[in-house]
Amino acid sequence: NGLIENTARKRMISDFKESVCSSIHCITNHVKAKLLENTLFGMGNPLLDISAVVDKDFLDKFGLKPNDQILAEDKHKALFEEIVKRNKVEYHAGGSTQNSVKIAQWMIQEPHKVATFFGCIGNDHFGEILKKKAEEAHVDAHYYEQNEEPTGTCAACITGDNRSLVANLAAANCYKKEKHLDLDSNWELVKKAKVYYIAGFFLTVSPESILKVAKHASDNNKIFCMNLSAPFISQFFKEPLMKVMPYVDILFGNETEAATFAKELGFETDDIAEIAKKTQNLPKDNTKRQRVVVFTQGKDDTVATVGETVTMFPVVDIDQNAIVDTNGAGDAFVGGFLSALVQENKLEECIRAGHYAANVIIKRVGCTFPEKPDYQ
């Protein structure tokens, strides 16, 4: 009898485990099923990142400082041809928005092509590499290809622990709303999305494209996110920025960008929490969603508006010696945040995912990542 009871009990436990596993499988499948292709939409300046180790003579030849970020001038044109002849050249799909959607897709893993990306490239060799790299990152990139300007590139000239960045926007500046965004097949992809993200840099290229996407999101109660991107955006592109602001549901920025934005808008405060609150209260088109403002501060707490309050979120502790390159940290934070947002997580969880992604990226050169995230 004992043997029969024991066998029956084992079978019951086995059946119970199976039903629990089946339920968990159903739940996880349900979560995955919610994530469809093209749920996240990004639009911006696509650049092919080209990294190579160079020597001091190379820097001197092109008048570069070891640690710097500049826009390419005429004297730098030959640099891009010369750097690719170096040994051990690495290529990555880059540019601020493309970095963020690429990281969001990496955090999500599957399904592939949750992230869509629009931007302009040249009909050339670098353009082909960029398409291949976006495909490898499982991003559904639909580029507007033209022949007037070559594909935008960003050369990372590495000497020891330093890297000198030289960006040549070129084709990225040539995006045309009527030739790409307005096409029915492309606009259908925009309509499929539930979350939209555009870095402020794109205000210098096609503010009319941003407005079209932002209004669509607002009219359909979807989530439109934007980034202040750099102090010069608030300083010199304030008018197009403020035209888009009423449609912004989530605004990102760092402490320097926040301070410049506050100064340009006459907030008369340099307190980051107060700046976040005043930014949250700027006029908003879709009143069904309260604006969320998220300001990162490097190793200091991230500041975010949560309902009527401003909350501080500590970043992940890191040994300062483990930091290799903080360049992609902002893009990575946004990417991690968006990966949780498209899965309809709460703000706190989105920030946690953002902090995780930034923590991974700053331990590596460039905006690169391991094969899979180790994130729970």
| 229 three-class SS | coil
C-alpha closest to that of 230 among 197, 207, 252:
252
- Helix (H) or strand (E) segment spanning residue 278: helix 272-280
Q: Is position 331 annotated as part of the catalytic site?
A: yes
Q: DSSP labels for 143-176?
A: EEEESSSPPPEEEEEEETTEEEEEEE-GGGGG--
Q: What gap in Å lies between CA 325 and CA 249, rounded to an integer?
A: 30
Q: What gap in Å lies between CA 94 and CA 19, rounded to an integer?
A: 45
Q: What gap in Å lies between CA 58 and CA 78, rounded to an integer?
A: 11
- First-last CA distance in the chain: 45
Q: What gap in Å lies between CA 272 and CA 295, rounded to an integer?
A: 8
Residue of 140, 249, 325, 331 marked catalytic: 331
Q: Are 164 and 53 in contact (CB under 8 A)?
A: no
CA quadruple 102, 288, 291, 43: dihedral sign: positive
Neighbouring CB atoms inside 10 A of 195's CB total 23
The catalytic site residues sit at 331
